[in-house]
Amino acid sequence: MALTVTPLTPNLGAEISGVDLSVPLSNSDFDTVHQAFVDHSLLVFRGQDLSPKAQVAFSQRFGPLMIHVLKEALIEDQPEIYKISNLTEDGKPVGRAYAGQYWHSDLTYEPQPSLGSLLYGVQVPEVGGDTLFASTAHAYETLSPAMQGFLEGLTAEHHFAHAFRERPKAKTGSPNHLEERPPVVHPVVRTHPESGRKCLFLNEGFTVRIKELAPAENKAVMQFLFDHMTRAQSVLRHHWQDGDAVLWDNRALVHRGVDDYGDDSPRHMHRTTIEDTAEY
């Protein structure tokens, strides 16, 4: 079957068919996938059968992989795999349950943040547990020229611990590592190194403040930007099926899980995270 790319919304996402990620892609097929990734920011591969080793091998073709700070949620002999799971074994969590139930971009609290993430659905709920994605490139492009100009040159502080403040469910199984990552600073607007599009680079999960603004200004400006980024016109909702592999561009979107399922609906997923080595 030939590789095909089918857009999912006008502003974000495409489904890739005719690809088996469990074996190495030819250079030609990978080039097509890579270009689709740059063009659409999010790619859905249905019906995959991915071992941790195969997931790591495919992810590494985009760049070096990052090891998550929450070590207890990693696969012991494949630490590039971060487990998002509400399963337990012998009464202990298998991975990180109910992770990311807030808008965020993965690992913006790192000095060198993430280029992209690949999340593989090993076992997903029959109903619920969707993931929402929103284009920060489209969000920037639909701001007024005056607001675009205002944001240029501003910087924002990101901190891992920020995601766990006032989010009781997010704290489950993780607070021991909150202070292992000190705050970092990134530009509020970044130019995507491959597409050339300008993107908003802040999120409600990890962004503490815009450094150049007063506290009252921060509250108003950041809330406006968070609301603007996640308008219906910018959002894609992915309904998971077992065997889905979803690759997304953390430079050009934010995402969040939907907490509408419980422990009686198993949700077990494997994530790899690709480092962004570009200069901004």
Instruction: Give per-residue pLDDT as tens, 141-166.
Output: 999 999 999 999 999 999 988 877 65
Rounded Cα gap, residues 260 and 130, in angstroms: 8
Q: Which residues are known to be catalytic? A: 104, 106, 255, 271
- DSSP alpha helix (H) spans, the chain: 27-40, 52-60, 136-141, 145-151, 215-229
> Quick one: average pLDDT of 236-249?
97
Strand partners, 114: 275
Predicted confidence (pLDDT) at residue 266 exceeds the cutoff of 60: yes
Rounded Cα gap, residues 273 and 267, in angstroms: 19
pLDDT one-digit tens code per residue, 172-217 = 444 555 566 789 999 999 999 999 999 999 999 999 999 999 999 9
Q: Between the CA of residue 134 and those of 10, 49, 95, what are the distances in Å?
A: 12, 27, 25
Domains observed in the chain: 4-275 (3.60.130.10)
158 and 184 Cβ atoms separated by less than 8 Å: yes
| Exposed/middle/buried for residue 189 (C-beta within 10 Å: 0-12, 13-18, 19+) | buried
pTM attached to this predicted model? 0.93
Q: Between the CA of residue 28 and those of 25, 31, 48, 76, what are the distances in Å?
A: 8, 5, 20, 33
